[in-house]
Structure 1
Amino acid sequence: MAERTLTITVQPDWKGALRMASKMAQAPVYKGETLNFENPELFLGRLTARRWTLVRLLMGAEEVPVRELARRAGRDVKRVHEDVLVLAELGLVER
């Protein structure tokens, strides 16, 4: 699996962030991906400690089924599934 890099930015100027992300996407060498939030509340308000734990468990891993992720986290499958949906909405995981 190729290593990927995600840069999270907080910039009220979303158009500027979009321009910067566009430049990175057009670069001849992969420079990672950028995810911008207009303010910290939009990002941090939805990123709980348990959700961050799921992100950490997924970092560097191949595809992990929700049931296996729940087992690794020692949590209920239904709650992990709900958290994965939020993380996907935030752009931190892919389904």
Structure 2
Amino acid sequence: MKNIVTVGISSLDDAKDRLAAAFRGEPQGNRISFLTVEQMWKTLSPKRAEILSIMAGQGAMPIREVARRVGRDVKAVHGDVHALLSAGVVDQVKGGVVFPYDAVHVDFMLGEAA
């Protein structure tokens, strides 16, 4: 079974409701939430999304290996990885950095229904 994370937009009230439900023992699944679409796109730019894509399901790897796999300069990838670390999207572990999921599902709505 794949370990999938859902990335989406969530108000503070929604996040608080999910937290309260989790404390009651209700499963919430894996989620990474942003307050706005703009914040999500800034954090998960196309180059950073590519980094997550190559890291998904691969375990820990040094930043230099991440850069090699995406075919980019180590310094530029280092900056992107640290932005993802700051946002809590990837984790720093012994041996480098890890994106602890096998896949990403992006879920948000634009328009009046949002």
The answer for unaligned runs of 5 or more in structure 1 is: none
- State the one-letter code of the partner of 2:16: L
Asked whether the 8 Å contact 1:21–1:34 carries over to 2, the reply is no
1:20 matched residue in structure 2: 18
Larger relative contact order (Cα-Cα within 8 Å, sequence gap ≥ 6): 2
Shift of residue 28, structure 1, vs aligned partner: 7.2
Q: What TM-score do you get using the length of structure 2 for normalisation?
A: 0.67
Provide TM-score, normalisation by structure 1: 0.78
Identical pairs, percent: 28
How many residue pairs get aligned? The number is: 92
Q: Deviations over 1:33-83 (max 9, x none)?
A: 222211101111232211111000000111011011111111111111100
1:49 has 2:46 as partner = yes
Q: Higher strand share goes to which structure?
A: 2
Cα pair 1:14 1:36 within 8 Å, conserved: no
| Aligned CA-pair RMSD | 2.3
**Is the helix fraction higher in 1 or 2?**
1
